Amino acid sequence: MAQELARSHRDRAATGTVEPGGDVTNRDIRIASPGATGWWQNAWLLPVVAVLAAVMIISVPPWLAFDPAALPIPLDPNVPGLDYVLVLSHVLLATVALATLCLGIWPWLRVRHLAVHRWSGRIYVLSALSASLLTLPITYLNHPLQEGAGAYAVGVFWFTTTLIAYVAIRQGNEIRHRRWMLYSFAMATTIIWPILPIPFLANVLTLVGPLINLLVIKWWLVRTARRGASATT
Ligand code: HEM
């Protein structure tokens, strides 16, 4: 009896439960295999972390003076105090989100220290949901409707992808969790486009950048699915 139970458990772990949408749900199936922990398989993480660290080093310090008179952007003259509090909160929460995002996509950490992955993931979800929601009133205060369409879309998509990824893992669906966390990653990393020093392309990239990120992530999802078990992130 005990042997049968163990065998049935092993079989379920091997096959998972296939949902109508094709997702496999089973807490026993791990997204990253132990084979994904070699440094060479995690090497792609270095440029990603380096770029995100550079973004934070360039854009966050002016906000840490907590001085509304010394900001890199103009505040809404009608409600400067409100605009300041909203943007400052957005910057601080987004910084936490970007830092924990780097931990979340690190396969070695996820395989070897799942508890750390879970905690950094919870902090990412809380900070990303709040930072993305804050972009809505910020955009409302700083842009006319047509001009702000792209910013609204990015904020809403960052919020939605993060929420779907969180709900998926609460339901034990690691495949869907991974897919939507990668879309959330695509949105969070759109921050790289507006700060690129290419003046004549800056406006275009603010709009096209999020699409480029989504396409890269889609390509990564297809590539890792072809390889079988999503061996890396
Ligand atoms: C450390 C990281 C970040 C910093 C320093 C930062 C800074 C800012 C600032 C200063 C604003 C106000 C812009 C203005 O009023 O003209 C803003 C708005 C916004 N941020 Fe962030 N942000 C960060 C991360 C993110 C991330 C990861 C996203 C992800 C999508 C994001 C999306 C937005 C959006 C959609 C707006 C509203 C658009 C706008 O007002 O132009 N931010 N951010």
Tell me which DSSP letter residue 144 carries. -
Identify whether the C-beta of residue 171 lies closer than 8 Å to the C-beta of residue 223. no
Distance, in Å, from the CA atom of 144 to the CA atom of 139, rounded to the nearest integer, reads: 8
Ligand 1 centroid to residue 89 C-alpha, Å: 10
Give which of 178, 151, 161, 197 is closest to 54, Cα–Cα: 197
| Mean pLDDT for all residues in the chain | 84
- For the cut 80, the answer to whether the pLDDT of residue 227 exceeds it is no
pLDDT of residue 168: 98
pLDDT in tens, 126-179: 999 999 999 999 999 999 988 899 999 999 999 999 999 999 999 999 999 999
Q: In this predicted structure, which of 12-16, 30-34, 97-101 has the lowest mean pLDDT?
A: 12-16
The residue nearest atom 36 of ligand 1, judged by CA position, is 135
The residue nearest atom 30 of ligand 1, judged by CA position, is 188
Provide the residue type at 12 as one letter: R
Ligand 1 centroid to residue 90 C-alpha, Å: 7
- Calculate what percentage of the chain has a pLDDT beyond 70: 81
Identify whether the C-beta of residue 177 lies closer than 8 Å to the C-beta of residue 169. yes
The residue nearest atom 29 of ligand 1, judged by CA position, is 188
- For the cut 60, the answer to whether the pLDDT of residue 46 exceeds it is yes
pLDDT band with cut points at 50, 70 and 90 for residue 36: low
pTM of the model: 0.84
The residue nearest atom 1 of ligand 1, judged by CA position, is 95
- For the cut 60, the answer to whether the pLDDT of residue 201 exceeds it is yes
pLDDT of residue 203: 75
The residue nearest atom 10 of ligand 1, judged by CA position, is 87
The residue nearest atom 19 of ligand 1, judged by CA position, is 135
pLDDT band with cut points at 50, 70 and 90 for residue 23: very low
Ligand 1 centroid to residue 91 C-alpha, Å: 7
pLDDT in tens, 62-90: 999 999 988 999 999 999 999 999 999 99
Ligand 1 centroid to residue 163 C-alpha, Å: 19
- Calculate what percentage of the chain has a pLDDT beyond 90: 66
Which atom of ligand 1 lies nearest, measured to the CA of 72?
Answer: 10
Pocket-testing residue among 64, 84, 138, ligand 1, by greatest number of atoms within 8 A of Cβ: 138
The mean per-residue pLDDT over the stretch 103-109 comes to: 92
Give which of 91, 4, 19, 100 is closest to 56, Cα–Cα: 91
The residue nearest atom 8 of ligand 1, judged by CA position, is 91
Give which of 88, 103, 92 is closest to 185, Cα–Cα: 103
pLDDT band with cut points at 50, 70 and 90 for residue 207: confident
Q: In whole angstroms, how far apart are CA 215 and each of 55, 144, 185? A: 21, 28, 12
* Residues near ligand 1 (Cβ within 6 A): 56, 59-60, 73, 87, 90-91, 94-95, 98, 135, 138-139, 142, 151, 154-155, 158, 187-188, 190-191
Provide the residue type at 160 as one letter: T
